[in-house]
Amino acid sequence: MGTNLSIPKTEKSSEDGENDHLRYGLSSMQGWRGTMEDAHAAHLDLDESTSFFGVYDGHGGKVVAKFCAKYLHQQVLKNEAYIAGDIGTSLQESFFRMDEMMRGQRGWRELAVLGDKINKFNGKIEGLIWSPRSRDAKDQDDSWAFEEGPHSNFAGPTSGSTACVAIIRNNQLFVANAGDSRCVISRKGQAYDLSIDHKPDLEIEKERIIKAGGFIHAGRVNGTLSLARAIGDVEFKQNKFLSAEKQIVTANPDINTVELCDEDEFLVLACDGIWDCLSSQQLVDFVHQQLLLETKLSGVCERVLDRCLAPTILVGDGCDNMTMILVQFKKQAKSSAPALEQPSSNDPATSELQE
């Protein structure tokens, strides 16, 4: 959770973009928190037919969120399943790949750099000696786990991050989520959750946690972590007799697939700093109102952040870091789609929202 400021930092980092099919705007704000631990990714043209958006809400530090923002979309694009057209499998494998890449010498060094522990004058990580691999060598993906050095036995970061990702390809939307960031779509003004908030007290999460040797106290995994799924958090993934899917905390994402139609207006991805303050429907209604007043989508996001910011630190909700991505669909020749349903907390890791 971290320390809080006496005066919130309300400066916002915002951007906009568009292509032939989509417009997007995003904004993030540190707020009352002592540090900014959110990160995001927005790539309109991941390839010639695909857009990628992601929000990453860090806990215990910013480095895992920043690592995911830098690398997760790259791993999706490189994945064999993605190349074969299986986007859902590529997303699931890429979530697990983040944990794999953050181990060992190269993972340790990259996290140190992302955590601002590198001396900008001499290029060395502060207070530590390390042996970088040759800069002339080709950046081969397989070298992550095998680079030698004083931190080759690094098991991974104790900090972690949620990951909520949306991929849009033609008329299909793929959503992958681990944690309590959330993706919501507005269809004819109605909000539909496309992800589940992975809280420890959900029955499917509780069952896995207990089977893996963990426990839940005061709504937190082992009394400390308020999430049941996350990337990072290596101390909850130490059972060598269990697969990555069955650890106390898992990076295993729920995957949902939606066929887009003309009635779909926009998509929102946001961290829990937003959802602590507004329900999915309240946010959709607020965005509709602001779209009548604001032409820039990033401006709409900024208004949402201001709306959610607590007036004082004593309020509770509205004191977290906040990040929001708003993706608006340009009207295409799409057919009508079946009715959407809210995802069930008892769904398996991969499910579809289509009837």
Each residue's pLDDT tens digit, 239-265: 999 999 999 999 999 999 999 999 999
Within-domain flag for 140: no
Within-domain flag for 211: yes
Residue 303 has pLDDT above 90, yes or no: yes
- The residue-averaged pLDDT of 313-320 equals 86
Residue 30 has pLDDT above 90, yes or no: yes
Q: Which of 62-71, 196-205, 307-316 has the lowest mean pLDDT?
A: 307-316
What token pair was written down for 16?
A: 């906009």
What token pair was written down for 308?
A: 């959610």
Closest CA to 23 of 301, 342, 307: 301
Within-domain flag for 255: yes
Within-domain flag for 111: no
Residue 118 DSSP code: B
Within-domain flag for 125: no
What token pair was written down for 107?
A: 């993972």
Which of the four pLDDT bands, split at 50, 70 and 90, describes residue 119? low
Indicate the number of domains in the chain.
1
Percent helix, strand, coil in the chain (nearest 5)?
A: 25, 30, 45
pLDDT cut 90: percent of the chain above it: 79
CATH number at residue 305: 3.60.40.10
User: Is the model more confident about 304 or about 113?
Assistant: 304
Within-domain flag for 354: no
Q: Which domain holds residue 178?
A: 8-103+155-328
- The residue-averaged pLDDT of 169-176 equals 96
Within-domain flag for 183: yes
Given a contact cutoff of 8 angstroms between Cβ atoms, the answer to whether 152 and 161 are in contact is no
For the packed helices 63-78 and 104-114, what is the interaxial angle rounded to 10 degrees?
Answer: 120
Segment 40-74, tens digit of pLDDT: 999 999 999 999 999 999 999 999 999 999 999 99
pLDDT cut 70: percent of the chain above it: 85
Phi-psi category of residue 189: left, alpha or beta, with phi > 0 → left and psi -120 to 50 → alpha: left
Segment 208-235, tens digit of pLDDT: 999 999 999 999 999 999 999 999 999 9
- The residue-averaged pLDDT of 304-326 equals 93
Please provide the average confidence, as pLDDT, over all residues in the chain: 89
User: Is the model more confident about 350 or about 190?
Assistant: 190
Task: Quote the pLDDT of residue 80.
Answer: 97
Within-domain flag for 344: no
Residue 284 has pLDDT above 70, yes or no: yes
Tokens 């320390």, located at residue: 3
Residue 136 CB partners (closer than 8 Å, separation 6+): none
